[in-house]
């Protein structure tokens, strides 16, 4: 049984918080460059150039890519052969607290009724999953609410089938317009129950950008949804063109015979996320 100290978890989360705000993952940068090179709209191509310039400045100067540094979502995969010395949740929260303070990141978390700010960007939204092995993996997603607010979920009738799934996802992305700062990455959760579908849609965003689902039929559905979204012509920040979305990531879970839950969770063009395994 491996033992990982709570202090080590806190230090890891602190670093992830600051890195996610300032340094985009290589797959995101590559996708933005590819989008610029294939963009059909001159205006949207110019916007993509500005976005790429912004990401370069953010990385060099260690400044946030966006002023909305998000509400923190952390997916924790805890190996069954690992013990965390101390309170795991408290260690994650302290890492968020330190990362937002030391990185001079905006505190955006508040009470939902009083709207009083918590002043340290906690509490985080933490999802814990027990897995095989002796590792602890942290997947860190700061979710800005220009994109998060465009999320949606529908309990479709099973008769809607694949066409209904496609129609619903495309409609939600098109209706979002420029609010989520496209080109977006779209997480889709299909199946399970109301809350499971939402969880799947968000977890789908953790997959490397554009990596297809392991199931052929699901991968084909991802490709079909992506093509349909980009054919609508909303484009970069709503300025038209053929790059409304960079990728669609879909996750599945068995559901009830009388149900077809479909959830949509959207990430902005920066798709800020970091991952670390201890």
Residue 225 to residues 158, 173, 216: CA-CA distances in angstroms? 18, 10, 14
243 pLDDT tier (thresholds 50, 70, 90): very high
Q: What percent of the chain has pLDDT over 90?
A: 99
Residue 74 to residues 10, 16, 113: CA-CA distances in angstroms? 12, 10, 24
Q: What is the mean pLDDT of residues 196-204?
A: 98
In this predicted structure, what is the pLDDT of residue 194? 98
Residue 234 to residues 9, 94, 135, 214, 260: CA-CA distances in angstroms? 41, 40, 42, 29, 28
* pTM, two decimal places: 0.95
CB-CB neighbours of 153 under 10 Å: 17
Q: What gap in Å lies between CA 58 and CA 253, rounded to an integer?
A: 38
In this predicted structure, what is the pLDDT of residue 130? 96
Give exposure, 226-249, as e/b (b: 16+ Cβ within 10 Å). bebbbeeebbbbbbbbbbbbbbbb
- Axis-axis angle for helices 42-61, 26-38 (nearest 10): 160
In this predicted structure, what is the pLDDT of residue 235? 94
Helix (H, G, I), strand (E, B) or coil at 179: coil
* pLDDT tens-digit series, residues 58-84: 999 999 999 999 999 999 999 999 999
Q: What is the mean pLDDT of residues 24-28?
A: 95
* pLDDT tens-digit series, residues 90-149: 999 999 999 999 999 999 999 999 999 999 999 999 999 999 999 999 999 999 999 999
* pLDDT tens-digit series, residues 123-136: 999 999 999 999 99
Tell me the pLDDT of the chain averaged across its residues: 97
228 Cβ neighbours under 8 A, 6+ residues apart:
166, 170
DSSP, residue by residue, 103-119: TT-----B-TTT--B-S
246 pLDDT tier (thresholds 50, 70, 90): very high
Burial class (CB in 10 A: 0-12, 13-18, 19+), 12: buried
Every domain of the chain and the residues it spans: 2-20+65-143, 146-271
* pLDDT tens-digit series, residues 34-60: 999 999 999 999 999 999 999 999 999
In this predicted structure, what is the pLDDT of residue 83? 95
In this predicted structure, what is the pLDDT of residue 171? 97
In this predicted structure, what is the pLDDT of residue 252? 98
* pLDDT tens-digit series, residues 152-183: 999 999 999 999 999 999 999 999 999 999 99
Q: What percent of the chain has pLDDT over 70?
A: 100
225 pLDDT tier (thresholds 50, 70, 90): very high
Q: What gap in Å lies between CA 14 and CA 100, rounded to an integer?
A: 8
Give yes or no for a cis peptide into 123 (omega within 30° of 0).
yes
Q: Which residue has the tokens 């970091």?
A: 274
């Amino acid at each position: 049984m491996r033992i990982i100290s709570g202090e080590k978890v806190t230090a890891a989360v602190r670093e992830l918080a600051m890195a996610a705000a300032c340094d985009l993952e290589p797959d995101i940068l590559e996708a933005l460059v590819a989008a610029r090179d294939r963009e059909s709209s001159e205006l949207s191509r110019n916007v993509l150039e500005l976005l790429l310039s912004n990401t370069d400045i953010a990385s060099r100067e260690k400044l946030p890519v966006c002023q909305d540094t998000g509400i923190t979502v952390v997916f924790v995969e805890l190996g069954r052969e690992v013990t965390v010395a101390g309170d795991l949740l408290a260690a994650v929260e302290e890492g968020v607290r330190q990362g937002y303070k030391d990185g001079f990141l905006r505190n955006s978390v508040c009470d939902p009724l009083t709207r009083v700010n918590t002043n340290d960007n906690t509490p985080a939204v933490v999802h814990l999953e027990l897995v095989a092995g002796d590792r602890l993996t942290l997947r860190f997603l700061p979710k800005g609410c220009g994109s998060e607010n465009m999320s949606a979920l529908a309990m479709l009738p099973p008769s809607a089938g694949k066409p209904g799934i496609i129609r619903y996802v495309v409609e939600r992305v098109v209706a979002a317009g420029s609010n989520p700062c496209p080109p977006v990455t779209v997480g889709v959760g299909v199946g399970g129950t109301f809350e499971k579908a939402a969880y799947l849609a968000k977890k789908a965003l953790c997959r490397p950008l554009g990596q297809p689902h392991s199931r052929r039929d699901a991968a084909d559905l991802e490709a079909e949804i992506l093509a349909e979204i980009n054919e609508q012509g909303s484009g970069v920040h709503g300025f038209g063109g053929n790059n409304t979305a960079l990728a669609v990531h879909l996750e599945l879970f068995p559901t009830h015979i009388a149900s077809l839950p479909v959830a949509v969770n959207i990430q902005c063009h920066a798709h800020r996320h970091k991952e670390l395994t201890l």
